[in-house]
Structure 1
Amino acid sequence: MADRFDKLQVEFIDQDESVQDVADAIGSSGDVPERYVRPEMEADPVIVDADGYSLPVIDMSRLIDPEFSEEEIAKLGSACEDWGFFQLVNHGVDGESLKQVKADVAEFFSLPLQEKMAVAIQPNGLQGFGHHFVFSKDQKLDWVDLLFLTTRPAEERSMDFWPTNPPTFRDSLDKYSQEIADVSDKLFKFMAIDLGVDEEALLGAFKGKPHQSVRINHYPPCRQAADRVLGLSPHTDGVGMTLLLQVNGVQGLQIRKDGRWFAVQNLPGALIVNVGDVLEIITNGKYRSIEHRAVINPDKERITIAAFQSAPLSCTVGPLQELLMNGEPRYKTVDGVEFTKGYFAAKLEGRRYLESLKLGV
């Protein structure tokens, strides 16, 4: 199956090095290449464990239970409006499925570079192992290696980029992607209730069912300059919803709230869910897509799986008519290809592209 992103013609340049190999090469005493060093990080304060800065926790079992559902849906709506992020507990993803996909992902990133390059991203492509958002030989780079794959619908997968080593990788990712799709379907249902719209109306913006892709991230440790490199630059997600799984328990996610960075402490076993740009636009700004970034641990690698529930390129992205206040849309309506190309062209620069779509009403 051809890559559904082909029509985007994203013009990335090749970054022909693995961050893990860079980390191994500099050892414990070498200097981090200047391309990765962010001097501004040293003057960027971060809030940790402060009063009033505790990420909302949503319980899926309470959302489903008629006795508690109304109360939990209200909490879900508040989290999407005030934070744009929440931790989802009792999500129902099978424990064995989680265990296997975590093991396979960790094993893949432990392979020699030559084996990982068997599924390397092709020139100007998106799927496979490598790097995204590299537009220039002079730009600052993120301290991360990634594996990006289309996962749902299954007929749109490009299997040439799905690793065959470890041997169980394809099967475990397939099962996990289905479990996450089921979780996201339930969340969209409860969001529709909170928003006061039909579920079909909300999912209609995704042409009936969101597409899914995964970005599997490997952030090597950086003892020399952990406070001066970034795993992932500040950005919003250009999708409907993201569900993040911590593979090995090492923290690193930070979100921007009230103009300051807040360090998220992931609850064991929880999924971290965030509103994406598409959902902010669809809800006409009621739900918020929040800027976030990934920082680096000096001593431990961090591995995550971000599952993106997104609108197909054939859709249009714009506010739902049912949610327009006094008939006043706050965002432009654009087609899916234009939206996605604009998002990539913004080069992970915070909310820049999302703000450019506002109508100023």
Structure 2
Amino acid sequence: MEMTGSLPVPSVQAMVAAGRHAPVPPRYLRPDLAADVVVADDATTIPIIDFQRLLLVDPEESARLHAACQDWGFFQLINHGVPDDVMEAMKASIQSFFALPAEAKQQYRQQAGQLEGYGQLFVVSEDQKLDWADVLYLNTQPPEHRNLSFWPAGESFRQTLDTYSAAVKHVADRLLGAMYMNLGLQLSIMDMDPERGAGIQSVRMNYYPPCAEAADKVLGFSPHSDSDLLTLVLQVNQLQGLQIKRPPDGGGAWAWLPVTPLQGAFVVNVGDVLEIFTNGRYRSVEHRALVNAHTERLSIAAFHSPSIHATIGPLPELLGDQEVPKYKTLDHQSFITLFFSAKLQGKSFLERMKKLS
């Protein structure tokens, strides 16, 4: 699939290593962050869904999932069945990769016009603000979509990512099946339609270096919503950084809600494609990542999208005869190309997908 790619930018990790207390370059500084409202109430948390109860088609758990997708767009998934040793091996592999010398990581750097590899995404102009992060982005499922020249050498990393990505996709397929059943679509959990299920998967491995000089003025990941069906995120070192945007409760300003990851759980969020498929019944939600002043933070995000041959638009079975489609319809390749050809800016991409009334 041809993509626009991202402009090359310096490694933030290397920049920090070269001068830990050097001034932060202006392209990373965002003074307006000081005006953002952040929820300080520790009692406000995103929903928790028990995967094993979903598989048993427990009515209460299915209802909780449905409400989470409608009202939150985010939840934490426990008892998901991915073995602890598989997750721990994946965490160790990512930590080992980002601990490599700078020149070793550069062997896997992104190439012009490509998304895969080591570098950064969504950099489309020489003057936009940059994220305080380095990433390794790879196509993982199905195996024939992989470009192994971007996969760190050595059987350990490759076998670990192969095992992990397959296990996570297995969970995503069944989650989507449960969601579609909640919506009244007659699709079996074990036999997902490839044009509506998780036909393809990519994994973004994120490294957020500490920023001792200006942690409150930089972002690890700009505010955005994901372009996929479902994203499953595993925190590598349990350091809080993810925040989701919540509407005002009883008036006031929109606020950012910090998400405290549960040990061993996946943080799951609805993507733009699922919002479009459901004609807005399920919501993709704007989120961002902060950085820590003193400690590095790492995470692994697995993105699940339909087959490259899918059509992206509201599902006819959900529209019926009366409901008006809220979103345009286009082929999946055009959809993804448009998404990656612009900088991250909240939910502006999904807004462009809406039909004019």
TM-score normalized by the length of structure 1 = 0.93
Deviation at 1:42, TM superposition (A): 1.4
Which residue of 2 is the match for residue 158 of structure 1? 147
Deviation at 1:11, TM superposition (A): 4.8
Aligned pair partner of 2:291 in 296, 299, 308 = 296
Which residue of 1 is the match for residue 346 of structure 2? 350
Find out whether 1:43 has 2:35 as its counterpart.
Answer: yes
Counterpart CA distance in 2 for 1:87 and 1:350 is 22
Aligned pair partner of 1:193 in 161, 174, 181 = 181
Which residue of 2 is the match for residue 148 of structure 1? 137
Which residue of 2 is the match for residue 260 of structure 1? 255
Instruction: Write the deviation string for residues 167-203 of structure 1: whole angstroms up to 9, x where unpaired.
Output: 5110000000011011011101110111010226994
User: Counterpart of 1:42 in structure 2: which amino acid?
Assistant: A
Instruction: Write the deviation string for residues 220-253 of structure 1: whole angstroms up to 9, x where unpaired.
Output: 0101100000000000100111000001111100
Note if contact 1:205-1:316 (Cα within 8 Å) is conserved in structure 2.
no
Note if contact 1:205-1:317 (Cα within 8 Å) is conserved in structure 2.
no
Alignment CA distance shift 1:246-1:355 (3 Å):
same
Counterpart CA distance in 1 for 2:42 and 2:81 is 30
Counterpart CA distance in 1 for 2:38 and 2:235 is 21
The within-5 A match list for 1:65-144 is 65-66=56-57, 69-144=58-133
Deviation at 1:45, TM superposition (A): 2.0
Moved more, 278-287 or 323-332: 323-332
Aligned pair partner of 1:283 in 271, 278, 291 = 278
Deviation at 1:360, TM superposition (A): 4.7
Instruction: Write the deviation string for residues 83-115 of structure 1: whole angstroms up to 9, x where unpaired.
Output: 000000011001111111111110100000111
Moved more, 320-329 or 291-300: 320-329
- Please list every run of 5 or more consecutive structure 2 residues that lacks an aligned counterpart in the other structure: 248-253
Q: How many correspondences in the alignment?
A: 349
Aligned pair partner of 1:214 in 199, 203, 207 = 203
Which residue of 2 is the match for residue 59 of structure 1? 50
Superposition CA RMSD, Å = 1.7
Alignment CA distance shift 1:208-1:272 (3 Å):
closer
TM-score normalized by the length of structure 2 = 0.94
Moved more, 210-219 or 336-345: 336-345
Note if contact 2:122-2:342 (Cα within 8 Å) is conserved in structure 1.
no
